[in-house]
Amino acid sequence: MCIRDSHNSNTTCSFVDGVADGNIDDIKGLINFVRGEDYFDYKGGCDIYADRNWDFCPEGTDINDCEVESSMLSDIYHSQLVEVGVPGANTSFTANNQEAYWRTTNGYASFKRNQQSREKIIYAGSNGGTLHAFNSDDGSEEWAFVPPFVAAQLPLLINKNYDGAFESDLKAGGSNAIFGVDGSPVIHDAFIYGLRSDGSEYEEMKSWRTLLFIPYGRGGAGFSVLDVTIPKVTAGADGEIGTGPLHMFSMYNDSYNKEVIRIKEGGEITDKLELETRGAYACMLGGNDGKTLFVCTNTGSGPDIANQRAGKIETTRVKIAKAGRP
């Protein structure tokens, strides 16, 4: 992750605990910045571990009467908010080639009964490169997920040039439009070989899982898939791993390096499809068994390339089948 050495022994915030030469402290600070801390000192005063907020205090107003506004959440551009609670997919069918028939004959009703107490969570992507999971009852954030391919773009988010841009006495701070997680989440219940609760390997038997598909939209040509059957994080006892959402895999169409890559929980790249002279712009698993990878390719992008009508949908076979239908 390329991030400059923002705080060190030669900067104004050198006296703050945790500040050191080199960018290791700044990488950690960037993560905390995305979480809502004022690590890059937008407010001034070197309170870099405080929340990013500021006082709106009109002229002539007593400081004790001013409102404190928090700015912990990054802006949301195109991602829609999606609420997920108790499973409720359709089980009424008129033919055996319908998905409702598949649900009925594979125990979906039992899955619904076992999930009746599942709490509602609202999911939304943000410009900060983060998928947010909010409690539907009180709006508090349960957890957040930064896709591995989006994480590398986080340093581009910072823009201190916005300081004081709106009012001379207001250290507003700001961020660039990297779009991050810009697509709208899609939810689907799928009968698959799911990951074990610690994410180490796949189960030996299929079971119903609630999957959250996260397209990056303008944030990048890729998507991530999370298992949100257990939507809230719970800590394990005596050092054991707890339960909660699991990162199943992410896929990214790299038009610059002309390849499609697959990454699993933990960040390991498991598969790489090299396309030689053509860039990849979108991909999806499909086919009768879900093991056909469809990739939209072209020699480049932009209006001039579009007029050449050189785009293709290319296919290849893969070992791992799709996880349900988005």
Q: Can you give the residue ranges of every domain in the chain?
A: 1-72
Residue where the block lists tokens 């309170």: 47
Single out the residue of 223, 233, 218, 211 nearest to residue 176, CA to CA: 218
The string of DSSP letters for 145-209 reads E--HHHHTTGGGGB-GGGTTSS-TT-----B----SS-SPPEEEEEEE-PBPTTSSSB-SS-EEE
Q: Does the pLDDT of residue 68 top 60, yes or no?
A: no
Mean pLDDT is lowest, of 18-32, 66-80, 111-125, 223-237, for 66-80
**Stretch 182-195: mean pLDDT:** 89
pLDDT at 122: 96
Length of the chain in residues, anyone?
326
**Between 42 and 122, whose confidence is greater?**
122
pLDDT in tens, 213-248: 999 988 887 889 999 999 988 876 666 666 889 888
pLDDT at 165: 44
Q: Does the pLDDT of residue 44 top 50, yes or no?
A: yes
